[in-house]
Amino acid sequence: MGSIQEWNAEQYAKNARFVSDLGQAVLDLLNPQPGERILDLGCGDGALTERLVAAGANVVGVDSSADMVRAAKDRGLDARVVDGYTLEFDSEFDAVFSNAAMHWMKRDPDAVVAGVYRAIKPGGRFVAEMGGHGCVAAITVALCATLQEGGLSNPADLIPWYFPTPDEYQARLEAAGFVIEHIALIPRPTPLPTGMRGWLDTFAIPFTTTLPEYKRGEFLDEVTEKLRPVLCDSNGRWTADYMRLRFLARQQ
- pLDDT confidence of residue 15: 66
Counting residues of the chain whose pLDDT is more than 90, the rounded percentage is: 88
Residue 201 has pLDDT above 80, yes or no: yes
- pLDDT confidence of residue 14: 73
Counting residues of the chain whose pLDDT is more than 70, the rounded percentage is: 94
Across residues 154-159, what is the average pLDDT?
94
Q: Domains in the chain, please, with CATH? A: 9-135+161-190+241-251 (3.40.50.150)
Among the listed residues 106, 38, 105, 113, the one whose alpha carbon sits nearest the alpha carbon of residue 65? 105
Across residues 93-116, what is the average pLDDT?
97
Over residues 46-82, the pLDDT tens digits come to 999 999 999 999 999 999 999 999 999 999 999 999 9
Split at pLDDT 50, 70, 90, the class of 22 is low
Residue 5 has pLDDT above 80, yes or no: no
